[in-house]
Structure 1
Amino acid sequence: MSQTHTRVSLAYQDLSELPMEFMLKYGDWLDELDLTYNRISDLRFLTHFPLLNTLIIDHNSIQSHAKFPRMHELRTLWLNHNGISNLGVFINSIAKSCPKLKYLSMMNNDAAPSYFNGGTYQQYVDYRQYVISQIPSLEILDDKCINKEERKEAEKIYQRAILQSTRRAKRHGAGSVESPPTMENLDTSIVEFFRPRRRALSMPGLMLKF
Structure 2
Amino acid sequence: MDRNRSVVDQNLPSTSTSNDGGVISVDISSNFLVDSVTEVPPDLIMSTEGSGENADDPSRLTLAYERLYEIPRTIVEKFSDHVTHLDISHNKITNLDPLVHFKHLTSLIADDNPITENCVLPPLPRLQLLWVNYCKIASLYPWVEKLKESCPNLQYLCLMGNPAAPSYLNGGNFYDYLQYRLFVISQFPSLSHLDDRKVTEDQKSEAQRLYRRPFFERIVKPNSGGISQLMQTSVSWSSVQNKISSLWGKDKQDNRNLLI
Provide TM-score, normalisation by structure 1: 0.81
1:3/1:29 contact within 8 Å kept: no
2:164/2:237 contact within 8 Å kept: no
1:95/1:135 contact within 8 Å kept: yes
Identical columns (%): 34
Cα deviation 1:84-135 (Å, max 9, x = unaligned):
0011221111101001110000000000001122211100000001101112
The SS at the match of 2:144 is helix
Residue 180 of structure 1: CA displacement?
Answer: 3.0
Correspondence for 1:61: 114
- Does residue 1:148 correspond to 2:209, yes or no? no
Residue 4 of structure 1: CA displacement?
Answer: 4.6
Among 42, 45, 55, the alignment partner of 2:95 is 42
Matches within 5 A, 1:75-94: 75-94=128-147
| 36 and 165 in structure 1: CA distance in 2 versus 1, 3 angstrom threshold | same
Correspondence for 1:203: none
Gaps of 5+ in 1: 194-210
1:165/1:181 contact within 8 Å kept: no
Q: Structure 1 CA distance, aligned partners of 2:146 and 2:101?
A: 18
Q: Structure 2 CA distance, aligned partners of 1:119 and 1:132?
A: 18
Residue 149 of structure 1: CA displacement?
Answer: 0.5
The structure whose RCO (Cα within 8 Å, separation 6+) is larger is: 1
The amino acid across from 2:228 in the alignment is: P
Residue 25 of structure 1: CA displacement?
Answer: 0.6
Correspondence for 2:85: 32
The SS at the match of 1:180 is helix
- Does residue 1:180 correspond to 2:234, yes or no? no
- Does residue 1:164 correspond to 2:218, yes or no? yes
The SS at the match of 1:77 is strand
| 24 and 189 in structure 1: CA distance in 2 versus 1, 3 angstrom threshold | closer
Equivalent residues, number: 187
The amino acid across from 1:24 in the alignment is: E
The amino acid across from 2:216 in the alignment is: I
Correspondence for 1:99: 152
Residue 165 of structure 1: CA displacement?
Answer: 3.7
Correspondence for 2:61: 8
1:41/1:62 contact within 8 Å kept: yes
| 21 and 191 in structure 1: CA distance in 2 versus 1, 3 angstrom threshold | farther
The amino acid across from 2:113 in the alignment is: N
1:53/1:75 contact within 8 Å kept: yes
Residue 185 of structure 1: CA displacement?
Answer: 9.6
The amino acid across from 2:215 in the alignment is: A
Residue 33 of structure 1: CA displacement?
Answer: 0.6
Q: Structure 1 CA distance, aligned partners of 2:134 and 2:236?
A: 27
The SS at the match of 2:65 is coil
The amino acid across from 1:28 in the alignment is: D
Correspondence for 1:206: none
| 179 and 124 in structure 1: CA distance in 2 versus 1, 3 angstrom threshold | closer
